[in-house]
A = this chain, B = another copy of it.
Amino acid sequence: MKPSCISLMTDFGLSDEYVGVMKGVIASINPYAQVIDITHQIMPQNILQAAYTLWFSYAYFPKNTLHVVVVDPGVGSDRQIIALKASDYFFLAPDNGILSFILNKFQCSAVRIDRSEFFLPNVSDTFHGRDIFAPVAAHISKNQNIENFGSIISSKSLTTLSNTGPYVKNKQVIGKVIMSDRFGNLITNISVKDMNQISSKDDITIQIRDTKIMGISCHYEQVKKNTLLAIIGSKGLLEISVNCGNAKHELGVEIGCQICIK
């Protein structure tokens, strides 16, 4: 039998024992589960970053992977924990918008996780990752029928984030920087399809603050070292980079900064 796969994404970091303990709980219940970390360095409580990161990752995992996301500022309050079956994947997360892009794209079956016999015996007020998410994930990975773990609900009732996409105004596409990565690449929410609404890829101008970049490069080394470029990155989105350098530091911009294309 193939191992069943569980991916983990949290804002717990790797300095504390939190992630290790979650994996200990999973291994106690399903020693055959294959656990893969997406990242644990989501900025604390940053639901939007987690939603994007999940969206850019989920489809590269084996079919039937259970993606578990614990970025959960509402832990211990009455926010719900939900499981989804969508496309060929399963998802387990708090109902706080993390699953927005999945919910918007796919027809989903949804369950509110409320059968406490699958939780650890003593549920703390602050660490549902260990006490609820990990044991429920391990049980789902053995059973793969989310309906056994709670009450069926309408996916229409679930929380989604709004205003995440770019828009067109005066023949310009107005988007924003949604993430930066370790290399200082600035990832925008503007896709090739968005750009095609106003122009061909070749005679495009990208403006970020006072800086203008002409045209889209095909790879980093197409420009000189330490030079700014625009490129279609691995997520299919426009990215601003510096060849062998760091665009985030170079431009001094933060997540949310506006990008304008004409």
Contacts and interface: CB of A to CB of B under 8 A. Distances in A.
Interface of A: 2-3, 5, 7, 9, 11-21, 23-25, 27-28, 31-32, 34, 36-41, 44-45, 53, 56-57, 60-63, 65, 73-77, 124-127, 130-131, 179, 181-183, 218-222, 231-234, 236, 239, 244, 246
A31 B57 CA distance: 17
B31 A34 contact: yes
Contact of A21 (B17, B23, B60, B239): B60
Nearest to A233: B126
A256 B178 CA distance: 37
Contact of A57 (B17, B34, B183): B17
Contact of A14 (B14, B16, B125, B218): B14
Contacts of A219: 75-77, 125-126
Nearest to A219: B76
A136 to B, nearest CB: 15
Given A75-B219, A219-B125, A5 B27 contact: yes
B31 A73 contact: no
Nearest to A79: B221
Contacts of A131: 234
A16 B126 CA distance: 25
A contact face: mostly helix, strand, loop, or mixed: loop
Contacts of A61: 24, 27-28
Contact of A34 (B18, B27, B40, B181): B27
Contact of A18 (B9, B11, B36, B181): B181
B62 A31 contact: yes
Given A37-B20, A41-B14, A234 B130 contact: yes
B24 A7 contact: yes
Contacts of A27: 5, 34, 36, 61-62
A125 B218 contact: yes
6 contacts: A11-B182, A16-B182, A20-B38, A21-B60, A28-B63, A44-B246
A37 to B, nearest CB: 6
Contacts of A44: 182-183, 246
